Amino acid sequence: MKRSPINGQINRLPAAALAAALLYVTWLSFGHFQQKPSIKIGVLHSLTGTMAASETPLVDAVRLAVEEANQSGGIDGAQIEMIVSDCRSDANYCAQQAEKLITTDGVQALFGCWTSACRKAVKPVVEEHHHLLFYPVQYEGLEQSPDIIYTGAAPNQQLIPMVSWALQQRGKRAYLIGSDYVFPRTANQIVKKLLLAQDAQLLAERYVPLGEQKLDAVARDIAAQHPDFVLNTLNGDSNPYFFRALQKAGIRAADIPVFSTSIAEAELAAMGPELMTGHYAAWNYFQSVDSGENRAFIGRFRRRFGLQRVLDDPMEAAYIGVKLWVNALRDTGTLDMATMKTELAEQALNAPEGVVAVDADTRHLWKTVRIARARADGQFEIVWQSPGLVRPAPFPFFLRPDELSQMERRTP
């Protein structure tokens, strides 16, 4: 058998040179090309069903934060890998997906849920495994967990200041309309306490199923009772049907303004801004926030996902959730869950909405509160904002312990 010329050359190499060559090959094979195992996160949002229009954009916001973290070195050289699960607008199915992501896929954190029904279904799964969920949407409060970071608003950071402002600016005759599930029913129990304290009048309190499209009768009732303002806690794709029904009933924003808790720029873009022009929303972030940090955020997002895309509060809250998690991991240098949670409780961030900070007692964020009027161009004009950061109060101070307990028991 002929000996290969290459083998012959190798055999003639001095021993030291041969050892160096072998080390070089080993470095190429296992050092230079071998990467650290990725760090997985689970993303739980509805890409189909009644909540899809609201929730799908949040996946892009999470993706932007993950890509930015990976481009800046990841976590100690390890890349972050997203595993996205479609919750199908079904809270129980979302809880099943959370279980799978934790036990089968081995994710280090979960980012997701929109409705409180979804969060309440996922919460016991997260707590059973002593895991970690970042929840990015405003909600009704009356909850806190050592295993959840709430990056959306507590009631005193959206609902309560919005209703107080409406009572001061528009009048004391209120009409409540909402989807029939946890958030609207609990939120309206808080609102009714506010109305009573302000000597205001509740004209009606109506609920419809999630995804309800037939809202003409509600609109006619609003027109007949002519409240000073409407508090809208509808969620998902019921909202465009509601505003079309108002338009059909001849209700104008100048006469009967609607204050919405779950409509932001993404929903305006989906349903057409003309339906809501002149009506109001309250959030911590609007795309119209005038700051260098926000302009840079908008620019990065649009370069990645399209120049026509809009940003809104839940998207920004989803984005900063990833940022807080990445910063805590980098600060601790460990994936140990207990250490991570301790570090998260001390995190602060210069976010697009402004400075935010985790409240160590409640795991909610200190935030700025803003109320804005919808414009015809699909953006919001900010008409009021808090003079500084508002400390989260998931259990409103004006509710007695027995009232809080009653609310929790009544919540479906």
Residue 73: left (phi > 0), alpha (psi -120 to 50), or beta? Answer: left
Q: Are residues 148 and 189 in the same domain?
A: no
Q: Are residues 257 and 195 in the same domain?
A: yes
69-92: per-residue pLDDT in tens?
A: 999 999 999 999 999 999 999 999
Q: Are residues 304 and 402 in the same domain?
A: no
What number of CA atoms fall less than 13 Å from residue 168's CA on the CB side?
7
Which pLDDT score, from 0 to 100, does residue 404 have? 57
Q: Is the pLDDT reported for residue 24 higher than 90? A: no
32, part of any domain:
no
Which residues on neighbouring strands pair with residue 260, listed in sequence order? 232, 281
Q: Are residues 236 and 274 in the same domain?
A: yes
Q: How confident is the model at residue 402 (pLDDT cuts 50, 70, 90)?
A: low
143, part of any domain:
yes
Q: Is the pLDDT reported for residue 1 higher than 90? A: no
Q: Are residues 139 and 50 in the same domain?
A: yes
Mean predicted confidence (pLDDT) in 254-269 = 96
Which pLDDT score, from 0 to 100, does residue 12 have? 46
359-370: per-residue pLDDT in tens?
A: 999 999 999 999
Torsion of CA 247, 250, 251, 255, to 10 degrees: 140
Q: How far is CA 40 from CA 80, 103, 321, 331, in A?
A: 6, 12, 15, 18
CATH of the domain at 220: 3.40.50.2300
31, part of any domain:
no
Q: Are residues 183 and 146 in the same domain?
A: no
Cα 344 versus chain centre, distance: 17
Q: Which residue range is the domain that position 327 belongs to? A: 39-153+290-367
Residue 89: left (phi > 0), alpha (psi -120 to 50), or beta? Answer: left
332-375: per-residue pLDDT in tens?
A: 999 999 999 999 999 999 999 999 999 999 999 999 999 999 99
Q: Are residues 58 and 83 in the same domain?
A: yes
Which pLDDT score, from 0 to 100, does residue 26 have? 43
Burial class (CB in 10 A: 0-12, 13-18, 19+), 91: buried
Residue with the two structure tokens 């479609």: 86
Cα 404 versus chain centre, distance: 25
Mean predicted confidence (pLDDT) in 248-262 = 97
Q: How confident is the model at residue 117 (pLDDT cuts 50, 70, 90)?
A: very high
Which pLDDT score, from 0 to 100, does residue 32 have? 42
14, part of any domain:
no
Element (H, E) at 224: helix 216-225
Q: How confident is the model at residue 256 (pLDDT cuts 50, 70, 90)?
A: very high
Torsion of CA 242, 272, 56, 367, to 10 degrees: -80
Average pLDDT over the chain, rounded to an integer: 91
194-212: per-residue pLDDT in tens?
A: 999 999 999 999 999 999 9
Instruction: Give the rounded percent of residues in the chain with a pLDDT score beyond 70.
Output: 88
Which residues on neighbouring strands pair with residue 40, listed in sequence order? 81
Residue 243: left (phi > 0), alpha (psi -120 to 50), or beta? Answer: alpha
Mean predicted confidence (pLDDT) in 130-134 = 98
Which pLDDT score, from 0 to 100, does residue 408 have? 55
Report the C-alpha gap between 344 and 328 in whole angstroms. Answer: 6
Q: Are residues 237 and 348 in the same domain?
A: no
Q: Are residues 322 and 394 in the same domain?
A: no
Query: In total, how many domains does the chain have?
Result: 2
- Mark out the alpha helices in 151-213 (DSSP H runs): 159-169, 182-197
Q: How confident is the model at residue 396 (pLDDT cuts 50, 70, 90)?
A: confident
Mean predicted confidence (pLDDT) in 248-263 = 97
12, part of any domain:
no
Say what the pTM is. Answer: 0.88
List strands edge to edge, sheet with 80-86: 80-86, 39-45, 110-112, 133-135, 148-150
Which pLDDT score, from 0 to 100, does residue 29 have? 41
CB 383 within 8 Å of CB 299: no
Q: Is the pLDDT reported for residue 240 higher than 80? A: yes
CB 199 within 8 Å of CB 172: yes
Q: Per DSSP, which regions of 131-287 are E strands?
A: 133-135, 148-150, 173-179, 201-208, 229-233, 258-260, 280-283
Q: Are residues 395 and 279 in the same domain?
A: yes
DSSP calls for 68-92: HHHHTTTBTTBPEEEEEEE-TT-HH
Q: Is the pLDDT reported for residue 3 higher than 80? A: no
Which pLDDT score, from 0 to 100, does residue 398 have? 72
